[in-house]
Amino acid sequence: MAFLLAFMQGADAVEADVRMSSDGHLVVVHDEDTKRVSGVSLKVSKTPLEKLRALDVGRVKTRRGQGQRMPRLEEVLGMMPEEKLLHLHLKMGPDGLTPLIEQLKAVGELNKRVRMMSGEVETLMAVKQALPDCGLILHCERRWTQKSDLWLPEIDMMMTVALALGAEAVAVDSRSLAAEPEMVEVMKQRGVKTHVWTVNRAPSARRFSDLGVSGIKTDYPGHLVSSFAKAARV
């Protein structure tokens, strides 16, 4: 599975996108539709677990990925190595919070290494109330507005919301962070970390690292880990 491969390549953490099947099971898949990963178009929230598990979700990328089944959340929780972090990006509705919280309470000590991420303030508030010790990450889908020449939401607004939630970090895309690199220091001064996605080139990763980001999300962890190791030896 990709998560184990990422850890083998030196990743400190993995991100798992959590959705709910039509019959109430939590599964880990990025898109709301299965077309990209399986070649078969099914809406996850409208499809029962048995039908989702029948798909080969690894065959589209490479031949080596063939035979992979859509993982249930409990399977991902069960394979977590010691000392590694798991970021759960919540992409289901409010109905999914009850089973999610039950599963997290059941994993005991692993709870300390799980971070819950969402762009929905109400979702993070509900998680905070049910699991007050769980780390939160505010996921911000930013956009540049030509009319006002601004990236929205603005840095001050993101920081205000993060502080109100008690979130430990804000996650933003690489393009907007490159345009407003001062965000890292502004957040840091108020005790909020900055994570950036999706960074696949080593030079870009090093630039963001030099800015002081606390997390770099990538599709190629082995490549970036190797690049940072080589730079450290120079």
Range of the domain at 146: 140-234
Return the HEC string of 184-199: HHHHHHCCCEEEEECC
Domain presence at residue 166 = yes
Helix 121-130 to helix 97-106 angle (10° resolution) is 40
Domain count, the chain: 1
Domain presence at residue 184 = yes
Tens of pLDDT, residues 193-220: 999 999 999 999 999 999 999 999 999 9
Helix 221-233 to helix 202-211 angle (10° resolution) is 70
| Helix or strand holding residue 8 (H, E) | helix 2-8
- Give the distance, in angstroms, between the CA of residue 207 and the centroid of all CA atoms in the same chain: 21
Domain presence at residue 210 = yes
Domain presence at residue 52 = no
Among residues 121, 117, 122, 154, which one has the least CA distance to residue 139? 117
Domain presence at residue 223 = yes
226 by Cβ neighbours in 10 Å (0-12 / 13-18 / 19+) ranks as middle
Report how far residue 175's alpha carbon sits from residue 45's, in angstroms, rounded to the nearest whole number.
30
Domain presence at residue 46 = no
Tens of pLDDT, residues 147-193: 889 999 999 999 999 999 999 999 999 999 999 999 999 999 999 99
Domain presence at residue 72 = no
Tens of pLDDT, residues 85-133: 999 999 998 889 999 999 998 988 888 899 999 999 999 999 999 999 8
Residues 6+ apart with CB under 8 A from 97: 90, 123, 126, 127, 130
Helix, strand, coil percentages for the chain (3-state, nearest 5): 45, 20, 35
Return the HEC string of 36-83: HHHCCCCEHHHCCHHHHHCCCCCCCCCHHHCCCCCCEHHHHHHCCCCC
Q: Is the pLDDT of residue 232 over 90?
A: no
Domain presence at residue 163 = yes
CATH number of 207's domain: 3.20.20.190
